[in-house]
Every structure is written in structure tokens, then in C-alpha cells.
Chain A
Amino acid sequence: MTQESWMEGTLAAPLLGAVLALIAGRSAASAIGILTALVGSAASIGLAFAVSRGGSFRYAVGGWGAPLGIDLRVDALAAVMLAMTGVVGLCISVYAVGYFRGKEAEAASSRTNTGPAWLFWPMWLMLWGGMNALYLSGDLFNIYVALEVVGISGIGLIALAGGSAIAAALRYLLLGLAGSLLYIVGVELLYAGYATLDLEQLRQRIDAQPSTWLAAALMTAGLLAKSALFPLHFWLPPAHGHALAPVSAALSALVVKTGFYLLVRLWLDVFAALGTEHVTTFLGALGAAAVLWGGVQALQQERLKMMVAYSTVAQIGYLFMLFPLASMSGSLTGALLLAVSHAMSKAALFMCAGSVLAVYGHDRIQSLQGFGALMPMTAAAFALSSISLIGLPPSGGFAGKWMLLSAALAGGAWWWAAIIVLGGLLTAAYLLRVLAFAFLEPVVASSTRAPRAMELTSLILAGMAIAMNFALLPLHDLLHAGGAR
């Protein structure tokens, strides 16, 4: 297969699957969903291999080319994000099959209706397609469209849970709209100034004018809100904490990374000519604040899903510490590995929370005695993903943090190093607080078991987060072969 066909598969499979799932309706949606997930993830992994062998490349859809047609392009950075989305997306899909089957069984026994739960599939595939389109886009307007697709399908997915999730979904909608608005105004300003939306051309033409700075500031503000960086994180915990488990997993593991990815593209590449030292320090400082604030908040949560959601606020902060350290060698590799392992471990954690909810009927941390004995696989998944999130060796989280830490220390920036280490301790505090309950004797003998598909996928994802410890070298090679910047 050629590079282009991998790319087409990556883009088309989820979007096509979404339409098919919508047409097929309740009966066949999940079958189409799982099939699409298989094809889509295989294509994105194939694409990553193609990039690692052949380097980055562009592809004009239908042969039209910019500025009239749509240009797709992929480099190592995009390939990593795509592969991450593919692998984690596949696992989320498998988990979702078990999850909704369990819901149906529950609904059947209580003679209620699962409602429009099958709509999960078209919306989830649309979300996936939107993310893939975003990573494959090479110009600012296409990125805007992709952002909107991601945002709207995300809102629908959150609202699936009904009840208090509707309010959270509306909040997410308002914030998403505000973010998009800021972003598109910035894009228009840039277009007015440089008469192009192509990232590559912008990079060459950009200069430090007031309107450029304004545009950059607006776009950055919009994207920060979408990636839930402190202090614009307030919408995330209710949205991720109230959604259905596979939805929370997708949003927390994958969607928040899109904003981060775009900011990396913009500030470490397109806007580099602006002289960005203050901006990168500012972004890093926000990241550091997020690590501490999110950690302290997570420590105080009573409910497991809310705690995991606040943990995302903190972990996103780690990624943003890349910006001030970007000039040090190895920092980009480290931050990307951190993003990938966070995607795996965070998805696994939300899956664990979903399995716990299915068995216990609630997720109050204080009442989870003995979940280790009741659901050993989930407890193991929880433990392994905790190790990676805390950044203990061996795990992807550790390897990523090590690279950031080394970059900070090599540059003499000990304060970033101190935050990285301190954040790890905070993470340990809130995750191990929960894990300790696994070792108590169970109080009530629950007869319900979580579907095996759910427990197993969370364990596989958590295991992958650990295995990512050995991914630094391949990732480093990929970034060098594929010309990240």
C-alpha cells in the first residue's frame, strides 16, 4: 500500500463508519463501530510506519491542491498523534461494546429502555474522524472545521448520559463555541495579513506585527480553553466526570490532546519567528500551576470519576511544560511520550471507573472496600495505569517525565524540575489513596460482575502504558526520520 492510501484510510474510515452506523441504526451500529475501529486504527498505525520509513509528505485530495483544494499532510508529530488515537480508539471501542451490552442487560432486567445509547457509535466515530482530520490538516481553516466536528460530536456524546450530564454538555458547548470563535477570529486576522492559511507558507511569511500578535493571542486563548489548561479547565471535570465511561475515556485521553497538539504546531513552528520566549514561559507556568492545582483538587474528590477528571487537568499541565523546555534535546520526545502514555493510562482509568460503577452501582471512593478481591483485573489495571500516571519506573509516564526532567536540569531550570517531581508526588497521593481500598476485605459480596471485555481492555491499555517505557527510542527515531518540525 502506498503512503497515500494509508492516509485516505485513516481519514475516511471513521467518517464513513459514522455515516453507516447512523444509517444502520440500533441493530447494527456496534458491529459497524467495531469494524470501523479495526480498519481505522490499522490505517493510522500503517501511516505511522509509512512516515517512519519515508518521512513526512503532503497529499492533495482529488489532485486539486492548495489553495483551491484540500491539502492533507502528515509528519512525525501528526503520525504519533494519529497512531495514539488509533490504538486507544480501538480499545475504547472494544470496551464500549461490553459497556453497552452490560447496560442493555441491566435495562432488560429492570424493564426500562436504554434510550438512544446506540447513538454513541455514530457520534464516537464522527469524533474520531474529526480528530484524524485535525491531525492531517495542513491549513488553519481545515483545522477549524475539524475542531468543530470534534466539539459538536463531543457535546452529543456527553449528553448521552442524560441527567446532570446535560448541564455539563451545555457548558462544554458554550465554552467550545467561545473557543472556536476566538480561534477563527485569529485565523481571519492572519489571513488578512498574509493571504494564506497554509501552515507551511505562514511559517515562512510570518513577522512580528501587532495584528499577528493579536491573532496569535486569540487563537491561543481559544485553544487553551479547548485543551482545558488551568485556569480555563473549569468545564472539564463536570463534563468528563458525568459522561458515560467510554465517552469520558475518549474525551480525557484523546480530545484534550488536540488543543495541545495545535499549540505545539503553532508556537514551536509556525509562530517561531515571532520570538516566543515569553509566551513559552507563560504556557509552561500555566502548566505548572495546572499540575499543582489539578493535583490538589483531585486529592479532595469524593467520587472516583471526578478524581480521574481532575487528574486530567493536572496531567495536561505536564504536557505544557514542554514549551519552555522545547529548545533542549529530548524534550519533544519526552512530552509526546507523556501524551501517548497519558492517553493510555487515562483511558484505562476511566474504564476502571466504569467497571467499578457497573459492579458497585456507585463510585464513592470511601465505599470501594475490597475492589481488588471483587475485580482483580480492574484493580491491576488501576494499579498499572497509576504507576504510569505517577511517573514511576518502568512506564511510559516515567520515561516521558525523565526526558522532560533531564531537559530541565540540563538547562539549569531547576524550578521546572521541582514541579515535575512534586506533581508526581501529588499524583501518587490521590491515586494510591484509592488503590489502598483494593486491599481491604470486601464488605458486601456483590454478585454482579463487570463484562470481561471491559475489564480486559482496561488491563491491556494499562499494560501498554507500562510498555511505553521502551518506546522512547523508536519515538526518537520517528521524530528524526519524519521531521517533526
Chain B
Amino acid sequence: MTDPWIPLVAVGLPFLTGIVIFMLDDRQVALRSLLNLFGAFAKLVLVGVMLWGVVNGRDYGVRLAIAPGLDVALHVDALALLFITLSAVLWALTTVYAIGYLENAAHRSRFFGFFSLSIFATTGIALAGNLFTLFVFYEILTLVTYPLVVHRGTQKALAAGRVYLCYTLAGGAVLLLAVAWLHALAGPRDFVAGGYLREFGTDHQFTLILLFGFLIAGFGVKAALFPLHGWLPVAMVAPAPVSALLHAVAVVKAGAFAIIRVVYDVFGVEFAQSLGVLGPLALLAAFTILYGSFRALTEDELKKRLAYSTVSQVSYIILGVAVLGPLSTIGALVHLVNQGLLKITLFLTAGNLAETLGVHHVHEMDGVGRRMPLTMTAFTVGALGMIGVPPIAGFVTKFYLGSGAAQAGQWWVIVVLVASSLLNACYFLPILYRAWFQPQSAPWPNEKREGFDAKAVLLVPVLFSAALAVGAGIFANAPFGPLEWAKLISSREFGYGP
């Protein structure tokens, strides 16, 4: 018995919320905030229902024929649940934060409308049951995040938006070609663990290698894979909640998630290995990891440093995917969640610093720990987690990635992981040192608020996400936690276990 309603509502709810919000006047703050919160928390409830249902063996899915042999399909599987749970939790946090952050800003109805539509697109990506559906929602995500990137309406924001569209639309064009080509080659097929292209391997080997390249290039844009990462640091002009959305909840995550789908559920990881495409992908991911870290070292602007850190961190996921083996798969999947938790913490704390003290640069952060102890505690959790210090979530990732590399006999991956951790320490620890151990050296650039730390509405989401990041590390093995789901997905892909 397949239940169509839950996935339909999960996708439709943020869509309708967005449309209604567009129609509100900018001054209807209370009603809009209420709608936002209702959307976010209803989504959490829905995700809870789906989690409970899937654990109890229920099947959620729905499909709608667009043309003969062309379906838009939504289906809830373990991987979808992993991503949708993450996005639902982080969306709720970001919504609360954004309502506080944008108090009294202009064009809020437009902002929150597109904000909601971004979650609509992300939910669609998470629940997509085939490559066509994934592509459709992936392109919608491009369109609805553009207005958020240019939200400030300055020439600089517009320039950033232009860069963003150039990258994403060009990537989208390559994707369109690849998806249509695969559809012409293999016919209408749904995602399936282990992939469905093996049978075409002998006749179309070259085409499939080419298409794999196209798909990685197309999805790699949002995943900020080198050399397609250029838009991400530029898009930093957007307001802090948008950065959080881009980096942790929706955009880069969508890219990484789509690559996971392509490797595991379209090609199948073992078939991809036999095509010889995983090696180059692993090398590219490893290079991106190191490159992003090096670039982060040299950036003084805090948000830019975090952006390059994202470039580096997302490629951990890709690296885990590209190294054949169940353990590295677990590492990749669990990092999808962990990177989200850690990065959202970091970006929201950066937003707190900017909003409360006008601090935008690392050199302005001397002594900021004493001025904003709670914010900086959260920041410290995020930074240490990124470096991989136990017991914070990031450690779990690195542990599984390292074990997976050892299992696959790819020792160079471990060297990359160690080097990257050292680099992470090099660009995060000086910030922590300045914040906690240096006295304040200059007046704050633009202190907007007296009193303790940041506004409560900005502080609570930050602390909550930091707590989640610690929790995901300490309670990594909790029943139905991210790690358990990751193990489940991995075992299905490699054909043993349940």
C-alpha cells in the first residue's frame, strides 16, 4: 500500500506557503511570521510521520505522468529521509533566525516567499524518485534562490546574482542534455539501489562515461566542485540566513545529494567503478578539499573564509562517494548531515557577529568571545567540528572516511584527510585564539546592540544547531540517528543486510 498524500503535502505545503506569503503586504509581520513558522513546524511533523512510517515498513510515493513514458515521481526512501530530515530541521532553525535577522528590512514578503519556495524545491529534490524529477526540482531551486542572492538589490548583489546564474544555468544546460540523453538511452527508470545502467555497459560504454561526466559537471556546480565553485564565495553578499540556506540546507547540499543519487542509484557504485569514473572523481574531490582549505587560509573576510571552507567540506561527501566501499559510503552520507549542522552553526554565528557588532572580518574579532560568549561558544563547536575534534559530529565523518579509505586500500585518501584537517585547524584556530585569548584591540565596527550577546531570536537557533552538532557526535549510534540511516543505505547499496 503506497501512500501518496504525505509526500504530496510535504512538497505542496512549502509551495503554498510561499505563494500566500508573496501576496502579503510587507507590513503584515505577525501573519507572515506565523505562516513561516507554521510551514516550518508542519514540515517537521510530516517528516516525523514519514520517519515513523518508513521504520514501520510503510511506503510513501506518488507519480504523475507528464508525457507517455515520462513521469514526475516522488518516493520516500532512506536516502530521501536522511536529506529531508536534515533540511526540515535546519529550515525550522533558519526560519526562526531569518524572522529575527530581517526585522524591519525591505521586501520581506518577497524574501520569505522565495525562502519558502527554496524549501519546496529542496523537498522535491529529496523526494525525487527518478532523475527527471530530480532535474526539474534542481532547476527550480536555481530559479528560486536567485532572488535571495540578489535580495539586497545593490549593484554588488546583482553582480553576484549574475555570476550565480551563469554557473548554475550553464550547469543546468549540461544536465538537461545528459538527463534527456540517459532517458533516450535507458528509457523511463526510477532510482534503485545499485543503479540501473549496468545492462547498457557493454554497448554504450563510452556514452555512459561521457554522460557520467556531464552529470557530475551539472550537479558539481551546486556542489561547488573545483573548478565550478566560483559562484559560492561571490554569493556571500546575500543576507546571513540565505548563506545558511545556500551552504547548509539547500543549494550545495542539493548538488552533493544529486551526485550521491547519480553514483548509487543511477549508475550503481560498483558499475561506476568498472567504468573507471570513480578514480577521477575521487581525485577531483580530493583536490577541491585541499584547494578550498588553502583559499580559506588567505581570506580575511569571515563569510568568505567560511565559503571556501564549504567548498572544501562538501567535497568530503563526494570523496566518500567516489571511494568504493561501504564504510566510505557511510562517511559520505553522514557528512551530508554533519556538514549541514556545522556549517549552519558557523554561518548563523557569523550573522550574529555582523548584526550585533558589525564584525565582518577576522582581524576585527579580537576579544569577541568575551563580548558574545554564547555565540562564540557555538562558533567554537562548529570550528572544532570541522577540524574533526571528537566528540563533535565532524569526527564521525572523518573516522568513517578514513576507515573506508583503508578498507579500499586507498591510502592517499588518508593523507588528504590528515592534510585537510591540519589546514582546517590553520584557518579556524587563529579565529578562536583571537576571540577567546586576545583582548579587544579596537572598538567594534558598528555596534548595534548594547547588553548581553545577540538578540535571543538570533541566539537560540545558533545554540540549538550547535547542540545538535555535538549530539550528532556523542549520540552517533542512537537508534534512527543519521549514522544508522547511513549504515542502512550503505548496506542496501552494497547488497547485504536488510
Contacts and interface: CB of A to CB of B under 8 A. Distances in A.
A422 B177 CA distance: 10
Contact of A406 (B135, B147, B180): B180
Given A330-B67, A402-B180, A473-B66, A425 B173 contact: yes
Contact of A428 (B64, B67, B165, B177): B165
B66 A436 contact: no
Interface string B180-218: 110110000000000000000000000000000000000
A394 B161 contact: no
Contact of B67 (A394, A403, A421): A403
B158 A439 contact: yes
Given A428-B165, A432-B165, A472 B140 contact: no
Nearest to B146: A432
A417 B173 contact: no
Interface in B132-168: 135-136, 139-140, 142-143, 147, 150-151, 153, 155, 157-158, 161-162, 165
Interface string A213-241: 00000000000000000000000000000
Interface in A311-367: 330, 333
User: Which of B142, B147, B176, B177 gathers most chain A CB within 10 Å?
Assistant: B176
Contacts of B184: 406, 409-410
Contact of A424 (B67, B157, B173): B173
Nearest to B165: A432
Given A421-B173, A436-B158, A441-B153, A472 B66 contact: yes
Contact of B176 (A399, A405, A410, A470): A405
A402 B68 CA distance: 13
A424 B172 CA distance: 10
Interface in B99-131: 107, 110
B170 to A, nearest CB: 7
A394 B66 CA distance: 11
A163 B107 CA distance: 40
B169 A428 contact: yes
Contacts of A424: 173, 176
A473 B110 CA distance: 34
B30 interface: no
A393 interface: yes
Contacts of A375: none
Nearest to A477: B68
Contacts of A418: 177
Contact of A473 (B68, B135, B136, B140): B68
In terms of DSSP, what is the predominant structure of the interface of chain A?
A: helix
Contacts of A387: 143
B442 interface: no
Interface range for B? 35 or more
Nearest to A422: B173
Interface string B7-24: 000000000000000000
B1 interface: no
A381 to B, nearest CB: 13
Nearest to A329: B68
B170 A439 contact: no
B65 interface: yes
B195 to A, nearest CB: 20
Contacts, number: 77
Contact of A470 (B66, B139, B151): B66
Given A425-B169, A439-B153, A417 B68 contact: no
Max chain A CB contacts within 10 Å: which of B65, B107, B155, B177? B177
A409 B183 CA distance: 9
Nearest to A402: B180
Contact of B139 (A392, A410, A440): A392
Which one of B68, B158, B161 has the greatest number of beta carbons of chain A within 10 Å?
B68
Contacts of A476: 67-68
B136 A393 contact: yes
Residue from the set A330, A333, A436 with the largest chain B CB neighbour count within 10 Å = A436
A434 interface: no
A360 to B, nearest CB: 18
Contacts of A422: 173
Contacts of B135: 393
Nearest to A410: B184
Nearest to A401: B176
A333 B143 CA distance: 26
A394 B136 contact: yes
A432 B162 CA distance: 9
A436 B169 CA distance: 15
Nearest 5 A/B pairs, CB to CB:
A472-B67, A393-B136, A409-B184, A410-B184, A405-B180
Given A392-B139, A417-B177, A439-B153, 20 more contacts: A372-B110, A373-B107, A387-B143, A392-B142, A394-B136, A399-B66, A402-B67, A402-B70, A405-B177, A406-B180, A406-B183, A417-B180, A417-B181, A425-B169, A439-B147, A439-B150, A439-B158, A469-B66, A472-B70, A473-B66
7 contacts: A392-B143, A421-B174, A421-B177, A425-B170, A436-B158, A469-B66, A473-B66
Interface of A: 330, 333, 372-373, 387, 392-394, 399, 402-403, 405-406, 409-410, 417-418, 421-422, 424-425, 428, 432, 436, 439-441, 469-470, 472-473, 476
Interface of B: 64-68, 70, 107, 110, 135-136, 139-140, 142-143, 147, 150-151, 153, 155, 157-158, 161-162, 165, 169-170, 172-174, 176-177, 180-181, 183-184
